[in-house]
Each structure stands twice: as structure tokens, then as C-alpha cells.
Amino acid sequence: MSNFNKTAEKAFDILLKEGVDIACEQEGLSYPPPDEKIIFSKEHNKKMAKIFKAEKRKLWHKKALKISKYAACFLAIIMLISAVTIYNVEALRVKFLNFVFTSDYEGTSFNFEEKEEEKEAPPENNTDIAFGYVPEGFELIDARQKKENIHIRYASGENYFQILRGDLSGNYNVDTENGTYENIKIDGLEAVYFTNPNINSVVWNDSYYIYIITSNISKEELIKIAENIKK
Amino acid sequence: MILFDICDEKDLHKTEQLYFFHKDLLFSLAYEILQKHSLAEEAVQETFIKAIKHLQKIEDIKSGKARNFLAIICKNTALDILRREKKSLPADDFEPFSEENNFESLIIGKETVRSITRLTKELDEKYRNVLYFKITFDMSNKEIAQALSISEELVKKRMQRARRILLEKIREEELL
């Protein structure tokens, strides 16, 4: 069939629909109303009532099925909300840190929610950070600074620890996969200690910065390093 | 049914409303074919069993379309009952082979709609009914086959034939 023929056929079908619809309506209206009222038998009335009853039952079943689907969705939403609530309760446990952390399977992300007017300006000379305690055998292998953000790494063979000091407006990720955490204090400040088979971390903040130390050394050593940081 | 005589139409379900409005007409149409009260009632019952499946296709139960929809099913149901009762009425199942339609050289305009309406009404009832079911009520070949108690193949052939007849007649009129 040629393209023109196809186009003409489509146009014809559109007009056919219009014309046939009108014919259908007119033909329906052309049926004369019966001259007299029909008296139906009792048997017929019973059968019709049965037909309508069966139809209503069918519709009711359909409706019930639909409602049950909605109910299932509603239940799923409630369960989801409950899960989020439970999760939020966990988050509340570290609220003293003035940040919230959201956990996913890769790690934990920190977002500080401090209001702008509540923020204190950092001291002018804020680029220095030093370790008052460094475990024996560890050497400085990397130190970088970008504006107020500082990253310092020490290592001894395969062991290492590194500190990240960042401003409170940033987002920070800590590897917490398959790990646990506990609340501790660093230099009198509330902190969280995370540990998993790969890494130990301690996270805390003061009025100006967040501090994250990650390492593969023991918890005791890690806390000792954290407590002896000279800001 | 007493229920339908005393109830407010708004209280009734859509199927019941349809019945309420069209039962007398449907009975009359069936009776015209069957000439027996009980058989005509049977035709009305079967009509509604078939129509229930397609209720969503009826928007306005008082419309001509709704009335025609039920009337077509009712008349066909009555003819089925007549065939069953008399066992002599041949089944209307032969259709000539349909060739591909040629739409080239067809002049299509607003006047064509009026021509289609008029020519549709002049068509043989068996083609008209298939056209109404297929085009106006958007029913599948299977649904039409069930409603008219004919094969799907016959529905397909009648639809093709109906379109071709309309197309040829429109073309003939254009040449006049």
C-alpha cells in the first residue's frame, strides 16, 4: 500500500468513526417505544434479580481486591515509615555531636545542621594542627591543606592513621560498613567511635571544625592520638 | 419486577438502570422475532448476561447508542434462540473473500461524514452491527463474536466487507 493510500485510509477511518457513531446513535433513537407496558413473568424477574446479584457480587470481589491492594501499599508505607523512625532514633543517639549521619551500605555521611547565625567564626590562625602523640615508628607521609581543610597521614609499614579536619558546612564520609559505633569523649567533647573489620574511626567536632581520624591501629591508640591533637 | 417499578432509578446499579430503561423495548424486539412470551424473556435475560461484560463501553444509559447496543445483542440473541428452537434457520456465516481496499483517488471532506452516516444506515444489518460494535463501542473481534454468537473470522470478514462497501459507495457518489 502506498504512503498516500495509507494516509487516505487513516483519514477515512477518522471520518468512518464519526459517521458510524452518528448512525449508531440515530438508529438507537429510531426504535419506537413499546405501545404497552410489558408484564414480565415472576420467573423472569427472579432470573434477572439473580443476574444482577451475581454481577454485584463480582463487582464487590473486584472492589475488595482493589482495596486489598491499596491496603498492602498502605501497610508497606507504614512499615517504611516505621523503619525510618527507628533509624532516626539511632541518629538521635549522636545528636549531641550537632550533626546527623545517614548510613548506607558504603559508609556514613555527615551533614552538619548548625544554623548560620549560630556558627562561630574560626580563629584567624587556624591552619595549624599538630599531633601531641604519635605512636612509635610512625612517620609523616602526607600533609595537605586547602583553605581551612587539613589532611595529614602517618604510616608505619602497613599501619596508618590519618586526620581530616574540615569545616562544618561540608559533607564527610566514613567507612562504617558492617561496623559498630559507640559514644566516647575526646578532650571533653562528645565523639563517636566507629569500628569495622577494615578500619577504626573517631569523629567529633568543636565549634569550628569536624575532626575525623581513621586508622587500622587499636582503639586505645587512636583515642590517645585524638586526645593529644594540638589545634 | 416489582423492585424496578418502585425503586428510584438513582438507587439502581448501572446494569439495573439499563434494564429499567430498555426492558420493554428489548422484549418487544425479541418478541417480534420469537413470537413467544417465554422465549422473548429468555432473550432479554441472555442479552443482559452478554451486555454486562461490556458495560464500561456504555457512557450514557439513556443514549441512542446504549439502546442500539442492547437492541443489536437482543435481536441476535433472539435469532439464536429461534435457530435453536426451529433448528432449520441457516446460520449466517458466509462472507465473500475481501480484497485490499484502494483509498487512492478518494476525496475526503466534511460531506463524507454525512454520507458515511447515511450509507451505514443503509447497510445490511449484519454489517452494520459489526461496524457499530467495532467502531462505536471499540470491541475486539472476540468480544463481538461472543456478543453476536458468530466466529471471530466472520467478524473480521464482515468488518472488512462493511468498510469496502462504504468506500465503494462513497467513491461512486463522488463520481456522480
Q: How far is A82 from chain B (nearest CA, A)?
A: 40
Q: Does A178 touch chain B (CB under 8 A)?
A: no
pLDDT band at A104 (very low <50, low <70, confident <90, very high): very low
> What is the tens place of the pLDDT at every residue in B125-169?
999 999 999 999 999 999 999 988 899 999 999 999 999 999 888
Residue A24, pLDDT score? 93
CA A125 to chain centre: 39
| Residues A202 and A221: beta-carbon distance below 8 Å | no
Q: How many residues does chain B have?
A: 176
A76 vs chain B: nearest CA distance in angstroms? 32
Cβ-defined contact of B108 to A19 (cutoff 8 Å) = no
Average pLDDT, chain B: 81
Query: pLDDT at position A180, please?
Result: 81
Judged by a CB distance cut-off of 8 A, whether residue B164 touches chain A is no
A55 reaches B (C-beta below 8 A): yes
Whether B6 has a pLDDT exceeding 90, the answer reads no
User: How remote is the C-alpha of B125 from its chain's centroid?
Assistant: 8
d(CA B6, CA B1): 9
Give the pLDDT of residue A103.
Answer: 46
Q: How confident is the model at residue B95 (pLDDT cuts 50, 70, 90)?
A: low
Residue B176 neighbours by CB under 8 Å, 6+ apart: none
Residues 6+ apart with CB under 8 A from A61: none
Contact A132, A116 (CB under 8 A): no
> Pick from B2, B25, B121: which is nearest to A23 by CB?
B121
What is the rounded CA–CA span in Å between residue B76 and residue B93? 13
A212: which strand partners?
A: A164, A203
Decide: B64 and A24 in contact? Cβ < 8 Å: yes
Q: Is the ipTM of this complex over 0.90?
A: no
Residue B131: closest CA among B107, B104, B103, B166? B166
Residue A145 CA, distance from chain mean position: 32
- At A220-230, the pLDDT tens digits run 888 888 888 87
| B7 in contact with chain A, both atoms CB, cutoff 8 A | no
DSSP structural state of residue B136: I
Per DSSP, the three-state class of B141 is helix
Name the A residues in 15-34 with CB < 8 Å from any B CB.
15-31, 33-34
Q: A105 vs A172, A178, A179, CA distance in Å?
A: 15, 8, 10
Q: Phi and psi dihedrals of A140, rounded to 5?
A: -70, 125
Better pLDDT: A6 or A125: A6
Q: Choose between B31 and A98: higher pLDDT.
A: B31
* pLDDT at B105 > cutoff 90: no
pLDDT at A110 over 90: no
Q: What is the spatial distance between Cα A200 and Cα A66, in angstroms, rounded to a whole number?
A: 51
Q: Is the pTM of this model over 0.90?
A: no
Measured between CA atoms, how close is A74 to chain B, in angstroms? 28
Q: How far apart are CA B64 and CA A25, in angstroms?
A: 4
**For B22-58, how does the pLDDT look when each residue is reduced to its tens digit (9 = 90+)?**
999 999 999 988 889 999 999 999 999 888 888 888 8
DSSP-derived 3-state class of residue A202: strand
- Give A-chain residues touching B23 at CB under 8 angstroms: 38, 40
Distance (Å) of CA A93 to CA A86, A87, A205, A216: 11, 10, 15, 25
A40 vs B68: CB contact, 8 Å cut-off? no
Look up cell 466466529; give the residue: B151
